[in-house]
Structure 1
Amino acid sequence: MQSSTVRDNESYNPYMKMPLGIEKHASIVYTITIFYQVQEEICASCFKCMVLRVREDGGMLHYDIMDGKNKIFSVVHNVNDHEATCSCKIFEMVGLFCRHIFVVFRDLEKIPLKYVVNRWPKDASLKATFEIDGVIYDQNGPKDEKKML
């Protein structure tokens, strides 16, 4: 059993449950806490979701996916642009992929970077926190008192 100190350590390499490149990429990109949530969705996409139907319409793939609770969700996948939306709207609410989108992205080696929301990656605290009148203030950077005023 892992201690919480080891588990919360950002340099800790988590155990991969699936032989998928997208899971490995998630472990590199996301904080350890967020990674475990993403890993749960990846595993659920493999073991709890079933594709009921796929149809093509104008270059878009439309999936009907049933999850472990016998609910059906619709995923629209633009294969050329690596874009997907799901009727569950978890990505829009939380900023992380749901298991339904991982079903269609399972073969990707990496999560498309346009879907890595700024608040979840390991380097999130290194990014600018806000901007006022064109001046970017970094919570980790040196403070210029004149600019702050």
Structure 2
Amino acid sequence: MSSSQRSESSHSFFKKYVSHKNSLMDFITRFNRALRHQRHNELVADHIDMNEHPKIKTNWPMETQMVKVYTKKKWTEFQDEMSQSHGYFVEHTTTRDDIMMYNVVSFQSSSSKPRQLMHDRQRDHISCSCGKFEFDGIPCRHMLAFFRISQIFELPKKYILKRWTQEAKIGVVYALDDENTNDDPTRLLMTRRSKLSYKASILIDYASLTDEGTKFLNKQLDSLHGKIKEMGASSTTVPSSQTRKNLDKPRNIGDPSNIRTKGCSKRMLSSKEKSTLKSRACHGCGLSGVSHDKRNCPKLHDWYVNCC
């Protein structure tokens, strides 16, 4: 279900920019435009997370802790779950070995089905039957209600997923092992490029948020460009002439062939159309149709009238 929803989400996003009627070159242009818009929205979200501070509603230390950790969008979801958790009470049901079971019931609707909370004391792990943490990646209101009655004032690190935090981009995204690339110039070039690209992307993200940062980085890049050109190519680098030849090779790109989409079938016929297809031909004129035979053929009828 999760993988299907991710693909449907990407499909709905790209359908705003591309369609099956686009040519290959038009598709590439529209696809790049969609990526630029997506990256721009990501930079705006990063700017909001860095400069805007959401308001907290309670004095619970966990709220003060997570407002500095989550992104604004995820913080809004977490704050809603936290406010909803005050409408639930927790009651202990059974204990088996080191596993304790609880029922989390709402105060407002006593007829609603209670959620089952399992606490493994040996691993110090909590799981809820609603499955929100496994699906959305944030603690549900039932888990937060248990934390509140257990006087757990800060959310444990095991329940904080890095992908929803403001530091989700920190860390090397792609890098190859230098020890295994010394004998392969192409892989060594890829390793160098990945490291430099990662550091440059971080600088660009921060500098593009302000005009001063953009102008400063632009000047520094111009200065670095001149200095690097003076250094020349390294002996371990792939020869530039060979790289240029590979880039200058002509590539003939054509439109892809039309493919019959999955689930596409013939149009369903109406009962009238079906009867027309099954009708037999008239022996008088040779035509076929509904209620058309030799007895009521208009051409034969006109011929009989003229003869008589």
Flag whether TM exceeds 0.5 (same fold): yes
After the TM superposition, which residues 1-149 of structure 1 pair with which residues of structure 2 at under 5 Å, given as runs?
8-47=48-87, 49-67=88-106, 70-79=112-121, 81-106=123-148, 107-130=151-174, 140-142=198-200
Amino acid at match of 2:84: A
Structure showing greater radius of gyration is 2
Q: Deviation string for 1:45-76 (max 9, x for gaps)? A: 112x2324443332332111124662311111
Amino acid at match of 2:80: E
Distance 2:121 2:85 in 1: 18
Aligned residue for 1:29, secondary structure, equals: coil
Distance 1:17 1:81 in 2: 32
Distance 2:100 2:51 in 1: 38
More strand by share: 1
Amino acid at match of 2:57: K
C-alpha deviation, 1:89, in angstroms: 0.8
Amino acid at match of 2:103: D
Q: 1:98 to 1:130 in 2, by over 3 A?
A: farther
Distance 2:154 2:80 in 1: 17
C-alpha deviation, 1:44, in angstroms: 0.6
Q: Greater CA deviation, 94-103 or 59-68?
A: 59-68
Q: Deviation string for 1:77-108 (max 9, x for gaps)? A: 23565420011111111111111111111222
User: Contact (CA 8 Å) 2:118, 2:126: kept in 1 or not?
Assistant: yes
TM-score by length of 2: 0.39
Distance 1:24 1:54 in 2: 32
The answer for unaligned runs of 5 or more in structure 1 is none
User: Contact (CA 8 Å) 2:49, 2:71: kept in 1 or not?
Assistant: no
C-alpha deviation, 1:133, in angstroms: 6.1
Amino acid at match of 1:112: P
Distance 2:85 2:50 in 1: 25
More helix by share: 2
Distance 1:15 1:39 in 2: 10
Aligned residue for 1:104, secondary structure, equals: helix
User: Contact (CA 8 Å) 1:65, 1:75: kept in 2 or not?
Assistant: yes
Distance 1:51 1:95 in 2: 22
C-alpha deviation, 1:10, in angstroms: 3.0
